[in-house]
Amino acid sequence: MSEQQIAGPAWVKDAVFYQIFPDRFARGEAIEHTPGLVFKPWGADPAEQGFQGGDLYGVVDKLDYLKSLGVTAIYLCPIFASACNHRYHTFDYMQVDPLLGGNDALRKLLDEAHARDMKVVLDGVFNHASRGFWAFHHILENGGDSPYIDWFKIQDWPLRPYHSDDDNPPNYDAWWNLPALPKFNHQNPGWRAHIFDVAEYWLKFGIDGWRLDVPKEIEDDDFWREFRVRCKAVNPEAYICGEIWTKSERWLQGDMFDATMNYIQTCATLSYIGADSWNGYRRNNLEVSPIDAQQFVDVMEDMYASYDWGINEVQLNLLGSHDMARPLWIMGDKKSAMKLAMLTMFSTPGAPCIYYGDEIGMSAGDDPYCREAYPWDEPAKQDREMFDYIAQLAEVRKGSDALCHGRLAFLPPQNNVVLFTRTTEHQQYLVALNPNAEGVTVSLPETGELIWQTGGESSLQDTQLTLPAQSGVIVALG
């Protein structure tokens, strides 16, 4: 690992993120919808799609709940005007969806979050828009006479915006050949100027950064370099995080993104911690399959060595998201494995990110099932022990300079137990992870004091650490 040269936003190193899918998180008490709207019942089967009526005022109402969990930053799935409940089909980047409360609701959320020292990061979906996007609609109405014709890549006429299949695909560039998602012409100067204006506008409005949807599909490094320059000119501490599921050296040289969503660590953690309870999961580039301690270490060391240490410190670490099955489901609904995976995420370099509902043991398969409504009025569906566990873990991390800022070093695995240290000038912690179905004893390099444990009572006698099955500890060495 190289000495630190690249410095990401300082606040991210200490942050605990919480990802929210707005339509399914909470309905606000303050919102006043246009009369006559009809939402799906709260908690309806997510396979029905449709809108269940979550909004940004609902997020405001739950900020104290998030604060009690230890959350210091919120990552919101898209909130701009759209005709889809997930809002990855954008109509207008300058307008927060009225169903979410509009721009006033975002203003309220930012003010209330910042008053609690919490950051808010928005989802930027800039590779493609929707067929309702104003410039594409202009083309639908005017054909080749539209001045916006070069904002997209049109092959022939008339356009087929609704009816297409493999034998009759859309006759314009569309994401995954979905006619609802026309791709932009990324070389068009008007489009580029518009996206830069959007990025700057919302940062000036008060957001704290951007999570970028499928940014590798915008194959133009100069665009992303300029995007970074524009964002950092508004707020030098703005967080720019790209959704890239694989190794990302190209984008993490300090001139484009600060970080990526760390799906490499996600996959390694679920594969190692959930090896005995794995649910046979594959998704996109997420190849979850059982691995042992040495394989986990090999993946992690290779990942850390690929980036400057300043990048590793601000990666967005996660166990679950809106794009994958929930981690508890992947690990066979074994709560002990979920707790051990959380310990892994909270003790490694980077910012941990909790997907809404994982803190109360929500479990479901792939999209759309992982996008169900939070069961606020159903206490029986809320695992408060899991909530308390994560809140306490966040508190331990908050109080530890080593866990937030320390250098990391792996020790040789013992008995399929991963061992690593986090070290600063004045503090050294050792983390031990035992996902095995039986207890084991491992030797530590020196004695210390147990400050955190999960999965039963561990014991430390001199340098001999005994770990129950599916357990983990944090030890203060020295």
Please say whether the dihedral angle defined by the alpha carbons of residues 413, 351, 318 and 465, taken in this order, is positive or negative.
positive
Q: 451 and 321 share a domain?
A: no
300 strand-pairing partners: none
CATH number at residue 409: 2.60.40.1180
Q: Is the pTM of this model over 0.95?
A: yes
Residue 242 lies in a domain: yes
Give me the residues paired with residue 419 across strands. 411, 432
Spacing of C-alpha 36 from chain mean position: 35
Q: Is residue 181 part of a domain?
A: no
Name the burial class of residue 249, with classes exposed (0-12), middle (13-18) and buried (19+) by CB atoms within 10 angstroms of its CB.
exposed
First-residue to last-residue Cα distance in the chain: 25
290 and 366 share a domain?
yes
Contact indicator for 120, 207 with CB cutoff of 8 Å? yes
Residues 438 and 325 in one domain: no
Task: Establish if 317 belongs to a structural domain.
Answer: yes
- Judgement on whether residues 310 and 196 belong to the same structural domain of the protein: yes
Q: 332 and 434: one domain?
A: no
Q: What is the pLDDT of residue 276?
A: 83
Question: Has residue 216 been placed in a domain?
Answer: yes
Q: Is the domain of 439 the same as that of 367?
A: no
The answer to whether 335 and 304 have CB atoms below 8 angstroms apart is: no
Q: CA 20 to CA 7: how far, in whole Å?
A: 27
Read off the CATH number of the domain in which 108 is found.
3.20.20.80
The residue behind tokens 């650490």 is 465
Which of 349, 383, 398 is a domain's end point? Answer: 398
Q: Are residues 298 and 424 in the same domain?
A: no
Same structural domain, 102 and 45: yes
CA distance 335 to 141: 54
- Indicate whether 35 belongs to any domain: yes
Under-50 pLDDT residues of the chain: 1-4
Tokens of 464: 């001999």
- Residue 418 structural domain: 405-477
The residue out of 359, 382, 398 marking a domain boundary is 398
Encoded amino acid at 339, one letter: K
- Indicate whether 49 belongs to any domain: yes
Q: pLDDT, tens digit, for every residue of 241-260? A: 999 999 999 999 999 999 99
The answer to whether position 164 is within a domain reads no
**Whether residue 444 sits in one domain with residue 363:** no
- Both 289 and 409 in a single domain? no
Residue at which a domain ends, from 363, 398, 433 = 398
Location of structure tokens 């993946």: 299
Alpha-helical (H) ranges within 274-415 are: 293-305, 309-312, 327-330, 335-347, 384-398, 401-405
CA distance 469 to 10: 37
The answer on 283 and 209 residing in a single domain is yes
Active-site residue set: 213, 243
Q: Are residues 52 and 80 in the same domain?
A: yes
User: 268 lies in a domain?
Assistant: yes
Domains in the chain: how many in total?
A: 2
